[in-house]
Amino acid sequence: MQIPQQALLLRIFIGENDKFGSSPLYEAIVLKARELHLAGATVLRGPMGFGKSSRLHTSKILRLSEDLPLLIEIVDSEDSINRFLPILDQMMTSGLITLEKVQVLQYGEKASG
């Protein structure tokens, strides 16, 4: 699979406790992206954050939160991302989704030689 040089970065901001059915939402999103042959997905866990409710989520010892912020990043062609968005919309009940244009410099391993 090749990603075009001009692609889209899909960012999904959710909480660690968000669910899709009985599964963690982040896991369901990544597995669906894989099933649809998107180029790849990465889940990043944040040590601190807040969203629309302004409720602070932190990993500090004195205020241990079990609902830390998560960020899922997916880079792929505009067509692939646009096909994924309606599915993502059905999976999410809260959170933040952003899109931005990116330039892909490398995807996968460079050919030796």
For residue 26, pLDDT beyond 90: yes
Residue 80 has a pLDDT of: 97
Q: Which residues pair with 9 in a beta bridge?
A: 75, 100
pLDDT surpassing 80 at residue 28: yes
Q: Is the pLDDT of residue 111 over 80?
A: no
Alpha-helix residue ranges (DSSP H) falling in the chain? 25-35, 78-91
- Does the pLDDT of residue 48 top 90, yes or no? no
List pLDDT tens digits, range 50-65: 777 777 777 665 555 5
Report the candidate in 1, 3, 9, 20 with the shortest Cα–Cα distance to residue 81: 9
The pLDDT value recorded for residue 53 is: 75
User: How far, in Å, CA of 54 to CA of 106, rounded?
Assistant: 37
d(CA 61, CA 58): 9
Contacting residues for 35 by C-beta, under 8 A, at least 6 apart: none
Fold of the domain built from segment(s) 18-103: Alpha-Beta Plaits (3.30.70)
| pTM of the shown model | 0.87
- List C-alpha distances in Å: 32 to 49, 87, 93, 99, 111: 26, 9, 16, 18, 29
For the cut 90, the answer to whether the pLDDT of residue 49 exceeds it is no
Given a cut of 80, whether residue 66 has pLDDT beyond it is no
